[in-house]
Amino acid sequence: MPLNAALLFLLQNLGHGKRSVMVSVKQMLRWENTVLPILLEEKLLVEAELAKSLPCKCVEKDCLMSVVSSDLCDEVTGKVVGATSFGICGKSHSFIGILTEFEQHYLKQWQLTNEMLIAWLTKYLRLEPPKEANRAGVIQIGTATLDGESYALALGSAEELVLLVNGDAVPMAKIFQVSEGGAIEVVTDLIEAHKSQKVIDIEPTSPKKSTSAKRQVRKEETQKLHAAWQKEYKKLRQQYPNKSKYSNSWIAIQIAKLPIAQGLHKDTIRKNMVL
């Protein structure tokens, strides 16, 4: 698994109210060799406490044994020279034995916390401390300044982990990318897109403006249509001046047959063809 896939795994496993995601040795072994050192270097992973349980060696299905570790001391000096771990069956609670070196290796795990992610983003985006207080499921990250405009960033973790840009949610998994050179980057364009979108959205007059603009366009189109009917009416009335023989209704029927009628009813045409 390359770096971008590993990052995606981490980000997709955060959220839903969780504060951190754990990576087991089993998971980590699926990653390319270079991934763990990069994530540790970037402080997007840190070595966590040893796991407290492992699959049990007993015959019970899906049993987990609790692992109890204790320091191994030198008999003479009393100094700590290492550690040893014991397994206790989760179902029978009987002693299983001292874990092998291989099993002890499998107790290792790493974690990424929301705080680590925030620290990384703060550094990368050179954020200023947040002005707002945290709310339920929302951690304020800070204020970013781009092109002289500032906008608030927050972490939403109630459901999928999201970056809130002025309150607009962008999935965290989309924010991060790995450059061709293998460096972890933030898709600032994506953040900026949401920033500018929000600036338009929060402008209270803009939705009304756009609706009234649409209405204005429709009004002008109708006026043009009526003007075309009025022109045609004048032409036909000159050709057929006898009003008792060729009524306005008759002329409306003639206009209704033309393309300028645009499929509208003869009565609609009759009402609008005379100024």
Site residues for Zn ion per CB under 5 A: 56, 58, 60, 63, 89, 91
Distance CA 153, CA 169 (A): 10
Question: Tokens standing for 37?
Answer: 């050192």
CA-CA distance, 253 to 256, in Å (whole number)?
5
Q: How far is CA 229 from CA 148, 159, 217, 254, 263, in A?
A: 54, 58, 19, 11, 13
- Taking the complex as a whole, the smallest distance from the CB of residue 105 to Zn ion amounts, in Å, to 20
Residue with Cβ nearer Zn ion (63 or 260): 63
CB closer to Zn ion, 63 vs 173: 63
Shorter beta-carbon distance to Zn ion: residue 62 or 147: 62
Torsion of CA 67, 68, 69, 74, to 10 degrees: -130
The distance of closest approach from Cβ of residue 202 to Zn ion in the complex, given in angstroms and rounded to an integer, is 58
* Nearest-approach distance from CB 107 to Zn ion, in angstroms: 17
Indicate the residue among 54 and 127 with the shorter CB distance to Zn ion: 54
What minimum distance in Å lies between the beta carbon of 55 and Zn ion? 9
| Rounded Cα gap, residues 165 and 48, in angstroms | 31
Handedness of CA 127, 132, 134, 137 (dihedral sign): negative
In whole angstroms, the minimum distance from the beta carbon of 31 to Zn ion comes to 29
